[in-house]
Structure 1
Amino acid sequence: MKIQIKKYGYLQGKNLCEFTLTNDQGMQVKLLNYGATAEDVLVPLKNGEERHVILALNKPEDYDKERNFLGGTVGRIAGRVYRGQWQNGPHILQLPQNDGENHIHGGFGTDQRVWDFRPEKGTDYVSVHFSLLDYDGHNGFPGNLQLETTYTLTNDNELSCQMTAYSDQLTIFNPTNHTYFCLDGLGSQVDQTLLKLDADYYLPVKGDGVPTGEMKSVEGTVFDFRENRPVGQAILSDDEQIQARNGLDHPFVLNGSKPAAVLTASDGLVKLALTTDAPALVLYTANHFGKGRSEVNTLPHFGGITLEAQAAPLPGSDLGAITVMPGKTWERHIAWKYEF
């Protein structure tokens, strides 16, 4: 097991660093302390080739040019908050309305901050512990929130992401890791990627992406991935929900089995099994990629799919399901097991 550290810049009063983790099977993971980001995953195939299996920009210096969500630890809130409001008893907290009238992805989010770090090397694993203090009042959120995101690569070709948080005030918190998976390789589309998802229900959304408040069965719909089916079943369909968001952009309520989701490359050479203790996965299929001149839009339309482990976004201002009590430790575990 190896871990290498390379300084590549300076931002927000801290060094910007890239970490390269390599296991004994030749699997390589690159991480950035900018946004506690999973930058790249490279796997060696049995045919002797190597394949990049998550969406990545050309170089680490590109990540802070504009917000892109590629592999970042997105928070404090992942997803949308209706009108940016949290009603806590008689009090209404107003968050930045940075997505029309709604709030999205924490404002100036944790994926845009430079985190402190501590590498760790064991006999059969390598880790990087990233930590960040999100101070009281930043983006309108109450409480000094201490965050830690730890990525660990093992010799079993598993990459895990352990998140912990602690606040000194009652606050709301619902982060996620925002990696886009592209098991057929960079430059491909995910319509032929096979997906198996342990979810009997999904949440319909309005045109602005906020859930309607309904929970619908996947039975008989394009959202039914309880058996291996190509992602194109949904994103190439004329389903009204798909058309409204130009692809998948929907929460799925997990049944609780392991793994929660399995992705398989169309050529069968790479498989990914995701396990998590999160109650939901939000699937998004890079619906807006391939448009415009920004760095992220050099990546193809439908060029990746997220499996965002989080609590399902809520339709209104009652956000009790994502509150964190002061003095209580919040935890989230995600693991991605690769076969190649």
Structure 2
Amino acid sequence: MMEQYVIENRNGMRAGILNRGATITELSLPTRHGGRVNTVLAYPQPEDYLTDRYYVGTTIGRYANRIANGRFMLGDSACQLTVNEVGCNNHLHGGLHGFDKKWWSVAKHTAEEIVLRCESHDGEEGYPGCLQAEVTYRVSDEDVLEVHYAAKTDRTTVVSLSNHSYFNLSKDAPSIQGHTVRVYADKFTPLDGRNLPIGAIASVADTVFDLRQGSDVNEVMDCIVNTNYAFDHTGNTLAVMAVLTDKESGRMLTISSDYPGMQLYFGNFLGGYFSLCQGICLEPQYFPDSPNNSHFPSAILEPGEHYKHTINYKFSKF
């Protein structure tokens, strides 16, 4: 049964969460002149998410992003996942029935926090091991939406969980062209024609992918479309990855995480209820196709290990 839950801080920052897909349907802020602005794209009705094809606001997994041919090796064992990006023959965002389509159970719900859980069975979408996953959403009085991921498995598997919200900090703008985006990464993973990494971890210097000083979205959105940025921090250290700014209102979103990568996608293929480039995705996660690139940060999870990662979305200048 579709249920929507709300969490809110003392300043009036509010998040709406659906139990299907552990989906963010609202991340709204009070404005200086009264009223509210929802900073994420959302469908008019909760039931509309049942037919969503764009992962709007959803939790994506068991593996966010792409795995070439849906195939990789774990030790001596070959794993074959479902291939759901048919034109490119890729496994994308967990397959035909990934975490975005699961009904998550609510383990805890308070005024400022909600904890949701789901289970992915051994062999589901081709993944080995029974995986128990948990996502916690918490709004702090510092105007941060904290997203905490946790998982454990009974067999060696791969895991990369993220959120696929499309951000638009303007109140009613039909596109993100009035935004600027800054990405604090020195490196990226160049892609081939199937949107898969070619294996290199390259410098952004002297390329269109260099967003370290910030760029107007309308100047780069058609050149970049989507790419994965590589960060050097290790362990559980939270680091600023990106800052998104709406030039007209001055609203700012700062994204921090302990993940090694962040996928940037300008919404160039949005459709249906939404317009092209109406929202931008900034998705901290493991690198795409990491299971087939041994020199990429490893997304392997072993039995007895605890998968833990955090994404923080901090808002300022309401």
Of residues 109, 118, 123, the one that matches 2:107 is 118
For 2:198, the equivalent position in structure 1 comes to 212
- Determine helix, strand or coil for the equivalent of 1:39: strand
Q: For each residue in 1:26-81, what CA deviation from the matched residue of structure 2 results, as whole angstroms up to 9, or x when unmatched?
A: 22211111001111111111122421111111111111123431111100011111
State the percentage of identical aligned residues. Answer: 30
Partner AA of 2:279 in structure 1: G
Letter of the structure 1 residue corresponding to residue 99 of structure 2: T
Secondary structure, counterpart of 1:259 in structure 2: strand
* Aligned twin of 1:37: 23
**Distance in structure 1 (CA, Å) of the matches to 2:53 and 2:152:** 25
Q: Give 1:267's aligned amino acid.
A: E
Counterpart residue identity of residue 317, structure 1: N
| Alignment of structure 1 residues 62-77 onto 2, 5 Å | 62-77=48-63
Q: Across the two proteins, how many residue pairs are aligned to each other?
A: 308
Q: Return the alpha-carbon distance in structure 2 between the equivalents of residues 106 and 316 of structure 1.
A: 14
Correspondence for 2:46 among 40, 43, 60: 60
Q: Is 1:273 the counterpart of 2:254 in the alignment?
A: yes
* Pick aligned residue for 1:261 from 242, 248, 251: 242
Is 1:102 aligned to residue 90 of structure 2? yes
> In the alignment, what sits opposite 1:286?
267
Matched-pair contact (CA < 8 Å) for 1:88–1:318? no
Runs of 5+ unmatched residues, structure 2 = none
Paired amino acid for 1:261? A
In the other structure, the counterpart of 2:284 is: 309
Distance 2:46 2:172 in 1: 16
Structure 2: distance between partners of 1:102 and 1:90: 22
1:55–1:70 Cα contact (<8 Å) kept: yes
2:239 and 2:258 in contact (8 A); partners too: no
Structure 1 position 192, deviation (Å): 2.5
Q: 1:300 maps to which residue?
A: 275
Provide the residue aligned with 1:332 in structure 2. Answer: 309
Following TM superposition, the consecutive aligned residue runs of length 4 or more in structure 1 with deviations greater than 6 angstroms are: none
Instruction: Give the TM-score normalised by the residue count of structure 1.
Output: 0.86
Q: CA RMSD in A?
A: 1.8
Q: CA deviation at 1:110?
A: 0.6
Q: In the alignment, what sits opposite 1:252? A: 229
Distance in 2, matches of 1:285 and 1:231, equals 8
Q: Which runs of 5+ in 1 are unaligned?
A: 1-9, 11-15, 291-296
Where 2:51 maps in the other structure, the secondary structure is coil
User: How does the TM-score come out when normalised to structure 2?
Assistant: 0.92
Instruction: Check the 8 A contact 1:213/1:315 in 2, yes or no.
Output: no
Contact 1:45 1:269 in 2 (8 A): no
User: Distance in 2 between the 1:68 and 1:25 partners?
Assistant: 31
